[in-house]
């Protein structure tokens, strides 16, 4: 059980950091400064303990056994589903489908929707999508003759909402859009987009992989039709995530995979399928991962979420101001409404060199195209360096990043 971290000041940052054992280590003889949270966040001891308890005490397959271990494992796994239901305010428990993560969730949806697509139909996405929200739809269009339509972005990395409105039509069969860009930190106006899409009866899928750690998710208030996120970005384990969908829409989709636990009856002549969510959960799932995701949700719920969000916003402001004072640094993605992601380039320096030099100082950032090559091309860069902050990061770590980057520009003779 996660301890209460609420204090009169919002939350106890040092107590939070103490819950994350990986943050206490040294790298290359330096205290670790972990700023790669948009790729994978660290996990608290409470999540480690939940996973270990399953393996040490309750390890068994679920849903099929009458013995005690199986019953306990099943109860813990399904309790995790209930926690996710509450976390996103889903109206029905069976709407929460466990997957291996956002990528599988989007592929599951594309597979199901593809059965009804016809030539001339359109799938609408944005120019800032992660590859996971591009490639499945491209593959689908290649097989069906449907068309992939892309909402453009401006130089700041913001959606062109006028163009978005113009692209909606009776041909649009789905809008699938990222809520928060992993490459830029841009927070898209998804409430307005959902409202406009629904004027044409267009269902909307939200890629909430980056939103889940940073904002409150209420699928009923949003009125989106599908939503996906991954556990490893929500301070939970790898290899687990969810697809949520409105019950009637999920019931209309065909199964994604065949095998055990997704069936009602099997004969050589015909198979009938189980109801939700089992229809989409073929085979033995990542049981420990699901339980760990439930523990991660418990942990996030134990924190003053608004205080955490305010802290992350202050870190981004600090980083933006601190790095602006360093010669040669150019931010990439300057949207007015941003999450705690700072992407940048240094003129005359490859991002991989930046990351390598920072690593020598114990500072972990991400470099590359961030599985978002089209947005890199649109903004005129091959790759960026990206520092991404979580609620356990500190202002001292922002200063360490600034000092590390000052060393980079000195080494390359910039400024």
Domain with 215, as residue range(s), is 49-301
Q: pLDDT band for position 64 (50/70/90)?
A: confident
Closest listed residue to residue 176, CA positions, set 106, 249, 118: 106
Backbone phi and psi for residue 62, each to the nearest 5 degrees, phi listed first? -115, 165
Assigned domain for 1 exists: no
Examine the pLDDT at 4 and tell me if it is beyond 80.
Answer: no
Closest listed residue to residue 366, CA positions, set 393, 390, 347, 385: 385
pLDDT in tens, 302-314: 999 999 999 999 9
Residue 241 φ/ψ region, left for φ over 0, alpha for ψ in the -120 to 50 degree band, beta for the rest: beta
Assigned domain for 295 exists: yes
Examine the pLDDT at 414 and tell me if it is beyond 60.
Answer: yes
Residue 115's pLDDT is what? 87
Q: How many domains does the chain have?
A: 2
Do residues 96 and 139 share a domain? yes
Mean pLDDT of the chain: 96
User: In the numeric block, which tokens belong to residue 372?
Assistant: 């978002």
Catalytic, 141? Answer no
What is the distance between the alpha carbons of residues 332 and 386, in angstroms, rounded to a whole number? 9
pLDDT in tens, 179-219: 999 999 999 999 999 999 999 999 999 999 999 999 999 99
Do residues 153 and 95 share a domain? yes
Q: Which of 279, 301, 323 is the last residue of a domain?
A: 301
Q: pLDDT band for position 10 (50/70/90)?
A: low
* Helical segments of 29-167, H only: 45-53, 68-88, 102-114, 135-144, 161-167
Mean pLDDT over residues 237-244, rounded?
98
Q: Tell me if 302 sits within 8 A of 5, measured CB to CB.
A: yes
Assigned domain for 297 exists: yes
């Amino acid at each position: 059980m996660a301890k209460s971290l609420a204090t009169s000041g919002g939350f106890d940052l040092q107590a939070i950091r103490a819950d994350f054992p990986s943050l206490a280590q040294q790298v290359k003889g330096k205290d670790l400064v972990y700023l790669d949270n948009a790729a994978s966040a660290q996990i608290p001891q409470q999540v480690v303990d939940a996973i270990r308890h399953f393996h040490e005490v309750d390890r068994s397959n679920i849903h099929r056994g009458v013995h005690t271990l199986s019953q306990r494992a099943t109860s813990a796994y399904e309790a995790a589903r209930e926690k996710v239901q509450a976390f996103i305010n889903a109206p029905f428990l069976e709407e929460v489908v466990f997957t291996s993560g956002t990528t599988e969730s989007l592929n599951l949806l594309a597979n199901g929707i593809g059965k009804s697509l016809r030539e001339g139909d359109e799938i609408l996405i944005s120019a800032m999508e992660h590859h996971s929200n591009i490639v499945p739809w491209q593959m689908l269009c290649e097989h069906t003759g449907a068309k992939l339509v892309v909402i453009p972005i401006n130089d700041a990395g913001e959606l062109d909402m006028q163009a978005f409105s113009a692209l909606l039509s009776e041909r649009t069969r789905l809008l699938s859009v990222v809520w928060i860009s992993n490459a830029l930190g841009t927070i898209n106006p998804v409430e307005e987009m959902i409202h406009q899409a629904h004027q044409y009866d267009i269902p909307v899928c939200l890629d909430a992989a980056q939103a889940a750690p940073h904002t409150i998710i209420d699928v009923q208030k949003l009125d989106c039709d599908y939503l996906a996120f991954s556990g490893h970005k929500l301070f939970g384990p790898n290899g687990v995530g969810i697809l949520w969908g409105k019950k009637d829409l999920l019931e209309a989709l065909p199964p994604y995979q065949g095998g055990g636990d997704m069936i009602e009856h099997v004969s050589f002549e015909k198979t009938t399928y189980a109801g939700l969510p089992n229809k989409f959960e073929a085979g033995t799932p990542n049981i420990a991962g699901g339980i760990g995701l439930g523990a991660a949700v418990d942990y996030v719920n134990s924190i003053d979420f608004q205080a955490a969000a305010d802290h992350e916003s202050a870190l981004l402001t600090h980083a933006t101001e601190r790095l602006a004072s360093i010669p040669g640094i150019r931010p990439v993605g300057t949207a007015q409404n941003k999450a705690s992601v700072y992407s940048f380039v240094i003129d005359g320096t490859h991002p991989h060199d930046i990351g390598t030099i920072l690593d020598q100082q114990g500072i972990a950032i991400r470099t590359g195209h961030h599985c978002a090559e089209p947005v890199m091309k649109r903004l005129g860069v091959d790759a960026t360096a990206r520092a991404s902050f979580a609620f356990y990061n500190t202002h001292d770590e922002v200063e360490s990043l600034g000092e590390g980057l000052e060393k980079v520009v000195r080494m390359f003779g910039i400024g």
